[in-house]
Structure 1
Amino acid sequence: MRTIRLISFGYLHLPTGPDGSPVPPAADRIEDVRDRLRDPAAARDILDLDGLNPRVQDVVLNTPGARELLANLADYATLPAGPRRIAIGCAGGRHRDVDRITGRHAEQERIPRLA
């Protein structure tokens, strides 16, 4: 099995290009979850927590569309000429994307553990 590097980032914290748009990290696939998944920071009592906290992980995993996204990423990762790097970005990089790369869900959801 090859190693796939999963990168967590926040669009609000990226450097900007000459045109002023954010420059995401280099990756074979960049998944922007800002519009795709509900912002977990809006959920009660988790704003000050990060994606490593089990409460945040539960909110993210139960967000409509999250399991489908994971299944799609897992299928993509298993392609014969599949990726070496997948980047997952949200607004701040503290909740949704961090949760997707934690060891707790990596093996459970068939996404390789962070290298």
Structure 2
Amino acid sequence: MATVEIVSFGFLHAAAPQADVVLDLRRAFRDPHVNPRMRQLTGRDRIVRRAVLGTPGIRQLLAATTRQVQAYASGPSADRIVIGSGCAGGRHRSVVVADQLARRLRRRGHTVTVTHRDIRRPVVQRHPAIHTDSRSS
């Protein structure tokens, strides 16, 4: 079985890591950053995790990505699969998705490592017009 490496990151800090699959969570999924109560938190905090996982479509994305990794792993030369999980700042959505994807893949027998590249970086100050989805939980 292939080893899976998952890297969460923020597009506003640096380029996406080299990966077989990059999940860009910026536009389609609710951003906890827009809620001042969650802004300084990370995807490791329960309130953030609930907000992200409560976003319509996120569980379907996790299921589809799990199937995609399974497909890559069934290839004849798949020994290592790298998944990038990116949001704007790398502290909220990308972290939750990376951790949840890792859980799903481990349950299916994969060896998984998770690196949260930007989780400890300062909160990115953004202009409100950048947000395409201003809904918050």
Please give the range of the TM-score, normalised by the shorter of the 2 chains: 0.7 to 0.9
Structure 1 residue aligned with 2:50: 58
Structure 2-normalised TM-score? 0.68
**Equivalent position amino acid for 1:69 in 2:** L
Alpha-carbon displacement from aligned partner over 1:17-41 (angstroms, at most 9, x marks no partner): xxxxxx3110001111101211121
Structure 2 residue aligned with 1:3: 3
Does residue 67 of the first structure (1) align with residue 59 of the second (2)? Answer: yes
Query: Is contact 1:101-1:114 (8 Å) kept?
Result: no
Query: Is contact 1:7-1:87 (8 Å) kept?
Result: yes
Structure 1-normalised TM-score? 0.80
Structure 1 residue aligned with 2:130: none
Structure 2 residue aligned with 1:99: 96
**Equivalent position amino acid for 1:90 in 2:** C
Which residue of 105, 117, 129 maps to 1:111? 105
Any idea what SS the aligned residue of 1:56 has? helix
Once residues 16 and 22 of structure 2 are traced to their aligned partners in structure 1, the CA distance between those partners, rounded to angstroms, is: 8
**Equivalent position amino acid for 2:20 in 1:** D
Structure 2 residue aligned with 1:36: 28
Give, in angstroms, the shift of residue 47 of structure 1. 1.1
Of 33-42 and 78-87, the range deviating more from structure 2: 78-87
**What residue ranges of structure 1 are gaps of 5+ in the alignment?**
15-22
Query: Is contact 2:6-2:102 (8 Å) kept?
Result: no
Q: Number of aligned pairs? A: 104
**What residue ranges of structure 2 are gaps of 5+ in the alignment?**
114-137
Structure 1 residue aligned with 2:13: 13
Once residues 33 and 101 of structure 2 are traced to their aligned partners in structure 1, the CA distance between those partners, rounded to angstroms, is: 19
Which residue of 86, 97, 101 maps to 1:89? 86
Structure 2 residue aligned with 1:19: none
Larger strand share, 1 or 2: 2
State the superposition RMSD in angstroms.
1.9
